[in-house]
A and B are shown apart, each in its own frame.
Chain A
């Protein structure tokens, strides 16, 4: 467990955390403002990755593929909002869960029918293909650093948008009391559409940025969606700041736990039971963390004011 290895895993954890933030931010905004549980948020992430692969096949340029995929993801998200989600905002959570579950089933298998079940790959832009050497000569892929940087930049932009623009003010007001905002003459339907579209784009962006370092396959959004739920539950539903802190926390705890659980257990146990129990404990860590946070603060670390 050398110092550089820990540094590498901390960077990996940050990268994972930033990815989680991009997904959780949209989810928590949509939930905060519209009180809408969107299970289909994870498939938007998957769709972003697939669209990027598809557009890359056409244009052969990462940046162009990124922009085209973002636009397409946004268009598709708004289409879903117009056709289905709009009619679910004032339904109870059970209806929302079932309808969006149906959308997941449809999209996961539609993707499988169109692109096949085999994993696809998205080449990263040439400029960022290399690695840099950290202290101690350990190599670290540049693209992961790019993902971290892009995520942090989005977080900063989001913070500015929410805290100091008119639309951000409406979002904050909407997550406190949407009915009141509507009564004061704001076109709430349009606000909902903007928030939803924005969240969709963030999830799509996360999918595109991570596509070069993971395999793009049907169902890739499902597990990450649940982690995003864990993030927003810990952070406090509706809170961007909470989502940011919780996402980095979960990213780091999960990554470090998986990398070092066996080593740490070996300090207490003999090698064989450590090797057996390590992975099981590592996979439980973040859920136990969630349980502890909720037991102490049932509304999360940074509950949005007004609820």
Chain B
């Protein structure tokens, strides 16, 4: 009998490990095939939509790192995205449009902001943390609207997509699309590696019981700050891509609604799974594209849908699927 149980446990573990690889592999393969599909259907806009999904997914994966593994509900994540985008926009307005400059600057600016605000935010816990990240996000939003030189409320357009060392490598939509996909895969693998590392285990330990972690000698706040800065860096990367995708930068990129939407993506897919953040971004963008075609103020449908998800589908779509799976297997 014990042997059977062991074998079953072993098989289950293999299955689980396989599923951990299969799901993301399927998602990335699907993304890789979108340009073919778009060319076949003759619908170029599919490419734009999928690119937007991936750009948002990078930010959402970083947010899931904070929310799902660190237990840090950040409501100011769009600020990092917006800062990255503004770095591209402002540099371009000042005549510098090479990715070798703007990408490091975009990431560095977001990291710096994450570090400075993280020092203050992470002194607090729970509800305070939510409100303070929200407030700092709003601060950056208002600073952006007050930059008359760079478009103020209206934002500014980016003259042309960034070059790479003077070469227009990202010029075509396909090249940019696959570059974005590569960034998403890299960001995902990085976060995946991070959460199973020692660092990730300390982060998760702090989420479960910060006092206990402190007692056994970990400076939980330092770990959280590093995670916050990493999330900021990935947010900056997402912002760099967003500015290059839309060739436009505006304060709305860092509005608190945008932060809320990123949180919604994480929730929709299922918190603390990383795959879920990508699925959530895909679902969110599809819902937006589809519903806004049905009704102009599509949020009047999406809003109540969110309430229903929270009230009845605990654990997001992945959780719902798992529950259905369990239901189907007795």
Contacts and interface: CB of A to CB of B under 8 A. Distances in A.
Interface string B238-267: 000000000000000000110010011001
- The DSSP consensus for interface residues of chain B is helix
A105 B302 contact: yes
B130 interface: yes
21 contacts: A31-B127, A37-B127, A84-B307, A94-B263, A97-B130, A98-B263, A102-B306, A105-B302, A106-B304, A106-B307, A223-B138, A229-B134, A232-B131, A233-B131, A237-B127, A284-B143, A287-B138, A287-B139, A290-B135, A294-B128, A298-B123
B130 A37 contact: yes
A72 interface: no
A212 B298 CA distance: 30
A103 interface: yes
A233 B132 contact: yes
Interface string B139-165: 100110111110000000000000000
Interface in A96-112: 97-99, 101-110, 112
Given A104-B303, A106-B299, 9 more contacts: A31-B127, A93-B73, A97-B75, A99-B307, A106-B304, A109-B300, A283-B142, A287-B136, A299-B128
A229 B131 contact: yes
- The DSSP consensus for interface residues of chain A is helix
A109 B127 CA distance: 27
B98 to A, nearest CB: 26
Interface residues of A, number: 46
A298 B297 contact: no
B20 interface: no
A66 to B, nearest CB: 28
A110 B267 contact: no
B204 to A, nearest CB: 16
Contacts of B168: none
Interface in A71-113: 84, 87-88, 91, 93-95, 97-99, 101-110, 112-113
Those 9 A-B pairs whose CB atoms lie nearest each other, nearest first? A102-B306, A106-B303, A105-B303, A109-B297, A283-B142, A287-B139, A105-B299, A279-B146, A229-B131
Contacts of B267: 94, 98
B271 interface: yes
B148 A94 contact: no
A223 B141 CA distance: 11
A223 B311 CA distance: 27
Max chain A Cβ within 10 angstroms of own Cβ: one of B117, B139, B304: B139
B67 interface: yes
B145 to A, nearest CB: 8
B222 interface: no
